Amino acid sequence: MATDKELSDFLEDIERRAFKQAIYAVRKEESALDIVQDAMIKLAEKYGDKPAAELPMLFQRILQNTIRDYFRREKVRTSWISLFSSFGKQDDQESFDALEVIEAEEGSYGAETGQNRLERSQILNIIEQEVQNLPSRQREAFLMRYWQDLNVSETATIMGCSEGSVKTHCSRATHTLATALRAKGIYL
Amino acid sequence: MNTTKELNTAYRLRHALDERSHELPENIRERLSSARKIALSRKKAAVEAPAFVMQPAVAGRAAPSSPREDHRLAWLGRMGAILPLAALVFGLAGIYQYEQHQQVLELAAIDAEVLTDDLPLSAYLDHGFDAFVAKGQD
């Protein structure tokens, strides 16, 4: 069973990468923070008594499910908004949409990057953007395998696909990233 | 892209992502830290499996204080289950023996009654007795 310290150390180690993973997926800082907090609480509440070695895989599974739940809720919310907005006046609808767009841009991660950063910072930013632009399955597989250090089998279990599919997703993700970065003059 | 080159690229990207993740703004780091504290405060406590250990119930006796005493009490607990079974077996054996003895006594009593009857046993071996009986019938 993981002790309080082991769980605390694990969460401290994982929280930044988890936040990045969430933000690559949902692209909203506040939502990403909520997702990470939910995943941490679920892990502690339901699996706090599990051995420390099992925590990375359990946390990844919870995180991916929480991200999927977020998208499901967003889909439902968007459908309700579009349903109700169709009953409203034309000018109300327009003002509402504009606010939505402005809020999304201010809260989005990409808005925090500036033009005057150092060259290295710009390169890192480009890399991050390219990771964010990957197809979701490729990004999930790539981040779990190469960033979270999960093996092929664990990644396949979390993603609910075969080990062969994980290898294919990882390979394609790496190839896509390398090609996209090369096109921007970045050679790894 | 071959596997080695692919792995090298992946690990370079990993380092870049790691570096980027360490540049998080202060407000986000604080939010993550508070999220971690909330999660830790709700940590699931260890659930111990219920142990079915037979505890000898002795009036006025405190809980075992040492492992040695605990061991002795566990032995007593086992004996608590064995002793009633042994008593039952001995009891059944005793009843069986008693019944057998009673049967022997009943047979002995019948034999004694036959032997102590008015007609002596030697009469059955006497040929003259048959003649006497035949004559009596006449």
Residue that is written with structure tokens 């007609």 in the block: B119
How many Å apart are CA B79 and CA A132, to the nearest integer?
A: 70
Q: Which long-range contacts (CB under 8 A, 24 or more apart) does B12-17 make?
A: B12/A188, B13/A127, B13/A131, B13/A146, B13/A174, B13/A177, B13/A188, B14/A146, B14/A147, B16/A123, B16/A124, B16/A127, B16/A128, B17/A17, B17/A20, B17/A127, B17/A128, B17/A131, B17/A147
| B-chain residue closest to A130, CA distance | B13
**CB A29, CB A78: distance < 8 Å:** no
A16, two tokens:
């930044």
Whole-number pLDDT of residue A62: 94
**CB B40, CB A42: distance < 8 Å:** no
CB–CB of A147 and B14 under 8 A?
A: yes
Contacting residues for A36 by C-beta, under 8 A, at least 6 apart: A15, A18, A19, A22, A63, B32, B35
Chain B neighbors of A123, CB-CB under 8 A: 16
Residue that is written with structure tokens 């990644």 in the block: A155
Residue A66, amino acid: T
CB–CB of B22 and A7 under 8 A?
A: no
| A-chain residue closest to B37, CA distance | A8
Nearest to A8 among B28, B40, B45 (CB): B40
Whole-number pLDDT of residue A31: 92
Averaged pLDDT of chain A:
83
Averaged pLDDT of chain B:
78
The more confidently predicted of residues A85 and A155 is A155
pLDDT of A187 > 90? The answer is: no
| Site from B8, B43, B47, B48 to mutate, A interface, most A CB atoms within 10 angstroms | B43
Q: What percent of chain A has pLDDT over 90?
A: 48
A116, two tokens:
């005057």
Kindly provide the ipTM of the predicted complex, given to two decimals.
Answer: 0.73
How many Å apart are CA A88 and CA A68, to the nearest integer?
A: 30
Angle at B70 between CA B69 and CA B71, to 5 degrees: 90
A111–chain B Cβ distance below 8 A for any pair: no
Whole-number pLDDT of residue B68: 57
Whole-number pLDDT of residue B48: 53
Question: CA A182 from chain center: how many Å?
Answer: 24
Considering A3-7, B56-60, B110-114, the range whose residues carry the highest mean pLDDT is A3-7
Res. B80 pLDDT band, cuts 50 70 90: confident
| Site from A5, A41, A175 to mutate, B interface, most B CB atoms within 10 angstroms | A41
Residues 15-34 of A with CB under 8 A from B: 15-17, 19-20, 29, 33
Query: In chain B, helix, strand, coil percent, each to 5?
Result: 70, 0, 30
CB–CB of B43 and A4 under 8 A?
A: yes
Average pLDDT, integer, range B54-71? 53
How many Å apart are CA B112 and CA A43, to the nearest integer?
A: 90
Q: pLDDT tens across A49-105, in order?
A: 888 888 999 999 999 999 999 999 988 888 888 777 766 555 444 444 544 444 444
CB–CB of B36 and A8 under 8 A?
A: yes
Average pLDDT, integer, range B59-72? 54
Chain A neighbors of B9, CB-CB under 8 A: 174, 177-178, 188
Question: How far A10 CA lies from chain B's nearest CA (Å)?
Answer: 10
**CB A7, CB A55: distance < 8 Å:** yes
Extents of the domains making up chain B? 1-39
CB–CB of B14 and A125 under 8 A?
A: no
Q: pLDDT tens across A115-142, in order?
A: 545 677 888 888 988 998 999 999 999 9
CB–CB of B16 and A174 under 8 A?
A: no
Average pLDDT, integer, range B29-52? 79
How many Å apart are CA A19 and CA A37, to the nearest integer?
A: 9
